[in-house]
């Protein structure tokens, strides 16, 4: 812990983080100008990341180029106190400061960390092509006032490239090992002075990183993804701007990731799939015709169908006399319609000296599931259907009050009501409802134009729900304990945070440090019942009484030399489960929470060797952590090295790169149970691994 005072001293003495994200020797003199362009889009008002009282990190399109990132998974390693879980073809579930979900099977999850793409809610879907990403913003800690129930632990806000006044575009192609390629492009222009558009297309394909020895195939865990986005912006008059946003995603990935031999060689005879077809629309409006406020409104719609399944036995018929051979398949439909409307005060509309925001939000979400599995009591194929209808209504507001020239107070409140209707083919019909509230109170001290110190208290919330899987299986002879797990209560999180942000006058050093302590009441945890250590199991969400999460996170960018820039981020995290005993009788009270590594770090450097040649290197590390709150299986500590050498020729950029250059086995999902008949179904830790060492070449043309 001796490094914590050092970090605070660094932040205060050489305050800030957001140096021009791609510093070229010829552009070094303009770094301060570039810094000013980086504004956080997801807050109520657009401010520089250095002016926001909260732990916020921002990545731009230049950061993507530096890291050769092709998907959201590739970016998450850079963030302090951020983790993710796969259990599918891609990382789908996010954790911030040790808080977040790890899977979704029968029961619809309530994400602790949400994802917005162009203002559309993609929480829990885990799909995001990033080739046209303009900016990614990570909000750490409860953000209930702004984002509601999906931001108990934080929020990812992604903004893609939009219409421009003049022709702009980028086209790129990437070839890599494992028979991988990526083709992507976006283009934007103005039709006339009032109407502009942007369009982006991306196709990714790969055989994946698994060898299926039984089928003699190397593409059973393949990637096949297409993403299209279109925006049309219309300046109706000097006061009204309208924008139409459309998204289309077609993901046809395989899923064959778990091996009985605990490596990258599988034996499954019925490999699974991870298919998503989604389409989304949003209509956004900004009206400034009233002198006292600016009105912002959005109505959005999303419809997504998914087909997720896997070979339950991870093997083939004939592997052993005590074998079993079943599959598990989840067919989902998700349809949502939401409206968000808010008024943001102008200087003329202040109440006294205070700026204010007031908004209302409403959402209608329908979740439908069909599960095709094996009934172990009846010993025959089974189908289970359920439906969840959720209605949300919320009102929120925020007031910023200057106390004097350097002190200010920000107060925010959100009150939200939800109503759930659940029904399934087992005859269960349950209604749940609750009224929840979230808040924030921030005292800010603006030391000077370069430094901000803040003290923040915030409250977040997450809805409760029904354990449909537990209800459906409670009458099974081996699973009667599930009768006590029919539902679970809402969770509340309280956060206390102290932060310092600042920058040197010449922007050569930019730093952010935040220390936090979080209390979790009625903490939601995932539990499992596996009575005979064999293939029959059931998952459910339980409440663990309480939890504690506290730590520190920091980010720095340092211009060591006109030709050398250094990027540093690190975090330390301590977590603890409250009073929690599993159905199997295991006592986990006081144990660390799942997906909460004690430390993380990322060190990256940009070396501009000559005007056209740039070398990028990064080292990212993460401590071991528990995979679940229901067992003691752990991941392994790892260090991840990424390399990139690029050559800039006017509008062209050519690069050769390597990700995970040291070929580390990095676990992204882990289970502990018995699934191998060859050893009598003895329990083991089974892991899904992220990509191994990768090598590729890229070319792009930007104008």
C-alpha closest to that of 571 among 642, 500, 618, 620? 620
Residue 617 domain boundaries: 3-702
Q: CA-CA distances (angstroms) from residue 48 to 54, 133, 222, 334?
A: 12, 18, 40, 35
- Give residue 2's pLDDT: 40
- Give residue 469's pLDDT: 79
Q: Which residues of 580-590 are buried (b: 16+ CB within 10 A; e: fewer)?
A: bebbeeeebee
What is residue 25's three-state secondary structure?
helix
For residue range 302-333, what is the model confidence (pLDDT) as tens digits? 999 999 999 999 999 999 999 999 999 999 99
Instruction: Convert 111-147 into a string of H (helix), E (strand) and C (coil).
Output: CCEEEEECCEECCCCCCCECCCEEEEEEEECCCHHHH
C-alpha closest to that of 407 among 440, 452, 348, 357? 452
- Give residue 634's pLDDT: 95
- Is the confidence at residue 269, as pLDDT, over 60? yes
Contacts of 539 (CB under 8 A, 6+ apart): 103, 105, 106, 107, 469, 526, 527, 528
- Is the confidence at residue 650, as pLDDT, over 80? yes
Range from 59-68, 368-377, 457-466, 645-654 carrying the lowest mean pLDDT: 59-68
- Give residue 168's pLDDT: 96
Range from 21-30, 251-260, 546-555 carrying the lowest mean pLDDT: 21-30
Mean of all residue pLDDT scores within the chain? 90
Range from 26-35, 216-225, 344-353 carrying the lowest mean pLDDT: 26-35
Pair 68, 655: CB distance under 8 Å: yes
2, two tokens: 């001796």
How far apart, in whole angstroms, are the C-alpha atoms of residue 431 and residue 615? 58
Q: Residue 482: which region, alpha, beta or left (left: phi > 0; alpha: psi -120 to 50)?
A: alpha
Q: Rounded to 5 degrees, what angle do the CA atoms 596, 629, 98 make?
A: 20
Q: CA-CA distances (angstroms) from residue 333 to 279, 431, 474, 586?
A: 12, 20, 25, 36
- Is the confidence at residue 643, as pLDDT, over 80? yes
Report the DSSP beta bridge partners of residue 100. Answer: none
Backbone CA torsion sign across 162, 228, 91, 527: positive
662, two tokens: 């040291």
The residue with greater pLDDT, 11 or 593, is: 593
Q: How many CB atoms lie within 10 A of CB 197?
A: 18
- Is the confidence at residue 227, as pLDDT, over 60? yes
How far apart, in whole angstroms, are the C-alpha atoms of residue 567 and residue 545? 39
What is the pLDDT confidence band of residue 474, given thresholds at 50, 70 and 90?
low
Question: How large is the average pLDDT for residues 99-124?
Answer: 90
Q: How many CB atoms lie within 10 A of CB 591?
A: 15
- Is the confidence at residue 385, as pLDDT, over 90? yes
- Is the confidence at residue 25, as pLDDT, over 60? no
How far apart, in whole angstroms, are the C-alpha atoms of residue 421 and residue 632? 35
How far apart, in whole angstroms, are the C-alpha atoms of residue 125 and residue 92? 6
Share of the chain above pLDDT 90, in %: 73
- Is the confidence at residue 529, as pLDDT, over 80? no
- Is the confidence at residue 630, as pLDDT, over 90? no
Question: How large is the average pLDDT for residues 7-22?
Answer: 37
CATH code of the domain covering residue 630 = 2.40.170.20
- Is the confidence at residue 27, as pLDDT, over 80? no
For residue range 447-460, what is the model confidence (pLDDT) as tens digits? 998 999 999 999 99
- Give residue 652's pLDDT: 96
CA atoms within 13 A on the CB side of 66: 24
Q: Rounded to 5 degrees, what angle do the CA atoms 641, 647, 649 make?
A: 155
C-alpha closest to that of 225 among 104, 127, 118? 127
- Give residue 588's pLDDT: 85
Share of the chain above pLDDT 70, in %: 92
Q: CA-CA distances (angstroms) from residue 182 to 407, 652, 655, 699?
A: 50, 17, 14, 11
Question: How large is the average pLDDT for residues 191-197?
Answer: 96
- Is the confidence at residue 436, as pLDDT, over 70? yes
- Is the confidence at residue 299, as pLDDT, over 60? yes
- Look at the block and give the residue holding tokens 């090295």: 641
- Is the confidence at residue 29, as pLDDT, over 70? no
Instruction: Convert 315-365 into a string of H (helix), E (strand) and C (coil).
Output: CCCCCCCCCCCCEEEEEEEEEEEEEEEEEEECHHHCECCEEEEEEEEEEEE
Domain count, the chain: 1
- Give residue 108's pLDDT: 84
Report the DSSP beta bridge partners of residue 278. Answer: 249, 304
C-alpha closest to that of 624 among 596, 603, 664, 589? 596
How far apart, in whole angstroms, are the C-alpha atoms of residue 453 and residue 498? 8
Pair 73, 115: CB distance under 8 Å: no
pTM above 0.75, yes or no: yes
How far apart, in whole angstroms, are the C-alpha atoms of residue 55 and residue 137? 10
Range from 126-140, 249-263, 345-359, 434-448 carrying the lowest mean pLDDT: 126-140
Report the DSSP beta bridge partners of residue 515. Answer: 498, 552
For residue range 532-570, what is the model confidence (pLDDT) as tens digits? 555 566 778 888 878 999 999 999 999 999 999 999 999
The most confident of the ranges 78-87, 139-148, 214-223 is 214-223
Reported residue count of the chain is 703
How far apart, in whole angstroms, are the C-alpha atoms of residue 701 and residue 591? 51
């Amino acid at each position: 812990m001796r490094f914590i005072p050092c970090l605070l001293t660094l932040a205060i003495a050489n305050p800030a983080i957001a140096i021009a994200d791609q510093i070229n020797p010829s552009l070094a003199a303009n770094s301060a100008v570039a810094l000013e362009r980086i504004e956080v889009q997801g807050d109520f008002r657009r401010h520089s990341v250095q002016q926001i009282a909260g732990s916020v990190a921002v990545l731009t399109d230049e950061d993507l180029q530096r890291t050769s990132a092709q998907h959201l998974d590739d970016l998450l390693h850079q963030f302090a106190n951020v983790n993710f879980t796969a259990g599918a073809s891609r990382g789908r579930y996010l954790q911030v400061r040790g808080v977040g979900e790890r899977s979704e099977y029968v029961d619809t999850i309530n994400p602790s960390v949400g994802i917005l793409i162009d203002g559309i809610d993609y929480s829990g879907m885990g799909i995001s092509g990033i080739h046209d990403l303009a900016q990614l913003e990570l909000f750490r800690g409860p953000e209930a006032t702004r984002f509601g129930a999906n931001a108990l632990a934080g929020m990812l806000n992604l903004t893609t490239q939009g219409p421009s006044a003049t022709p702009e575009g980028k086209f790129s192609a990437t070839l890599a090992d494992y028979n991988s390629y990526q083709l992507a492009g976006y283009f934007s222009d103005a039709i006339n002075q009032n109407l502009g558009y942007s369009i982006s297309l991306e196709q990714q394909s790969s055989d994946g990183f698994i060898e299926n020895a039984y089928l003699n195939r190397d593409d059973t865990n393949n990637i096949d993804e297409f993403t299209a986005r279109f925006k049309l912006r219309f300046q109706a008059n000097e006061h009204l701007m309208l924008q139409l946003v459309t998204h289309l995603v077609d993901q046809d990935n395989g899923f064959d990731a778990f091996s009985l031999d605990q490596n990258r060689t599988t034996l499954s005879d019925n490999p699974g799939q991870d298919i998503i077809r989604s389409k989304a629309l949003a209509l956004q409006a900004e009206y400034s015709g009233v002198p006292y406020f600016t009105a912002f409104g959005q109505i959005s719609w999303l419809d997504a169908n998914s087909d997720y399944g896997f070979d339950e036995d991870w093997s083939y018929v004939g592997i052993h006399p005590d074998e079993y051979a079943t599959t598990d398949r989840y067919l989902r439909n998700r349809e949502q319609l939401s409206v968000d409307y808010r008024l943001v005060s102008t200087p003329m509309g202040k109440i006294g000296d205070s700026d204010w925001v007031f908004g209302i939000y409403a959402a209608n979400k329908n979740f439908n599931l069909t599960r095709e599995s094996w009934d172990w009591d009846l010993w025959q194929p089974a189908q289970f259907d359920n439906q969840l209808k959720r209605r949300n209504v919320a009102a929120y507001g925020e007031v910023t009050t200057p106390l004097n020239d350097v002190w200010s107070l920000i107060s925010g409140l959100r009150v939200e009501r939800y109503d759930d209707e659940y029904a399934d083919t087992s005859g269960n019909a349950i209604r749940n409802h609750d009224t929840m509230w979230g808040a924030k109170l921030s005292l800010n001290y603006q030391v000077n134009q370069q430094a901000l110190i803040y003290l923040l208290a915030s409250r977040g919330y997450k809805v409760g729900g029904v354990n449909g899987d537990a209800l459906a299986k409670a009458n099974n002879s081996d699973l009667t304990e599930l009768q006590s797990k029919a539902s679970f209560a809402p969770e509340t999180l309280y956060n206390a945070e102290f932060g310092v942000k600042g920058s040197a006058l010449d922007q050569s050093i930019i730093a952010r440090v935040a220390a936090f302590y979080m209390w979790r009441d009625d903490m939601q945890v995932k539990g499992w019942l596996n009575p005979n250590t064999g293939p029959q199991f059931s998952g459910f969400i339980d409440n663990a009484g309480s939890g504690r999460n506290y730590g520190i996170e920091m980010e720095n960018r340092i211009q060591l030399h006109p030709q050398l820039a250094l990027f540093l981020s690190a975090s330390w995290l301590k977590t603890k489960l409250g009073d929690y005993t599993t159905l199997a009788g295991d006592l986990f009270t006081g144990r660390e929470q799942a997906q909460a590594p004690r430390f993380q770090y990322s060190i990256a450097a940009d070396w501009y060797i000559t005007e056209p040649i740039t070398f990028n290197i990064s080292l990212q590390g993460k401590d071991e952590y528990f995979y679940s709150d229901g067992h003691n299986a752990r991941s392994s500590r790892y260090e991840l090295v990424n390399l990139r050498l690029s050559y800039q020729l006017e509008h062209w950029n050519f690069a050769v790169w390597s990700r995970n250059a040291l070929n580390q086995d990095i676990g992204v999902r882990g289970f502990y149970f018995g699934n191998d008949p060859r050893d009598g179904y003895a329990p083991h830790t089974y892991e899904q691994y992220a990509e191994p060492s990768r090598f590729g070449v890229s070319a792009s043309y930007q104008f």
